[in-house]
Structure formats: structure tokens, C-alpha cells
Amino acid sequence: MRAFREAVEAGDLGAVEALLAEDVVFTSPVVFKPYEGKAITAAILGAVVKVFEDFRYVSELSSEDGRDHALVFATRVGERALDGCDFIHVDENGLIDRFMVMVRPLSGAQALAAAMGARFEEIAKEAAARESEARTAS
């Protein structure tokens, strides 16, 4: 998980995307239905980088087999401070195949939902462009 954490902390979205499995499932803290696929997950994470301010990981836990990780973070969305956790599972190839985010408090989650909702159209366009690039490359 070191590569993922370092990529996030450096703001290297290309490196983050390279660590995602094609069939990754992303579960948002503010949307009921999970998002499926590398393109939409990468687009969401790209938007999150713009929304989160003063982001920092504060703790990390890993399972004995190294496939499950919990990365605890602190950040802000506007004036709202939030604490959260990225729960990450990697597949047999070491790629992230499940990514679930949880945040607290409710007021922070609401600020996150509003900020991400305002970017939804941009996120959808970026995901479509990524999917198109992937189809062209293969």
C-alpha cells in the first residue's frame, strides 16, 4: 500500500490510476450505489483531490496477508474538517479491486457530497474520455 499512499500524498493521479484494477469497485461515503470500473474510479479520485484540502494520512493498518488495508486520513472540505478512512483490498496481482471510503462527521460528509455533486458532470465526462482512451489503446 506504500505505492498508493505515496502517490496520493504526492498528488500523482497517474500513479494512483496505475494501481487500480480494471474491475475495481469504488464505494463512496455519500452515494448509495458503488461505482464499477477503473475509468470512473480514477475520475472520482481526481475530483476528490480538488475537493479535499490539507489532506494527510495519519495512520495505516494492514492485514497479515497484505491484501486488506485501512488508511486513516484527516482533511477539510471548505470550512468543514473531516476524518475518514480508505478501506482498500488488492487482488492477486497487487492491484486495487475494492476501494471504500468512510468519513465523519455528518456535516463533513454533507460538505463532501455537495462539493462532489457540483463536479458530477465533469467526473462523468472524464470517465467517458478515459473509457474511450482505454478502448482505443486495446
Whichever domain contains 71, its CATH number is 3.10.450.50
Domain annotation covers residue 132? no
Give the integer Cα–Cα distance in Å for 71 and 77.
Answer: 18
Domain annotation covers residue 57? yes
Per-residue pLDDT of 45-60, as tens digits, reads 999 999 999 999 999 9
Per-residue pLDDT of 25-34, as tens digits, reads 999 999 999 9
Nine-digit cell at 19?
494501481
Q: 97 is in which domain, residue-wise? A: 2-127
Domain annotation covers residue 133? no
Domain annotation covers residue 74? yes
Q: What percentage of the chain exceeds 90 in pLDDT?
A: 84
Report the domain count for the chain.
1
Domain annotation covers residue 49? yes
Coil, helix or strand for 66?
A: coil
In our burial notation (b when 16+ CB lie closer than 10 A, e otherwise), range 63-100 reads: eeeebebbbebebebeebebebbbebbbeeeeebbbbb
Nine-digit cell at 28?
463512496
pLDDT for 138 beyond 80: no
Give the integer Cα–Cα distance in Å for 37 and 25.
Answer: 6
Domain annotation covers residue 117? yes
- For residue 105, the one-letter residue type is P
pTM of the full predicted structure? Answer: 0.92
Domain annotation covers residue 135? no
Domain annotation covers residue 40? yes
Per-residue pLDDT of 72-111, as tens digits, reads 999 999 999 999 999 999 999 999 999 999 999 999 999 9
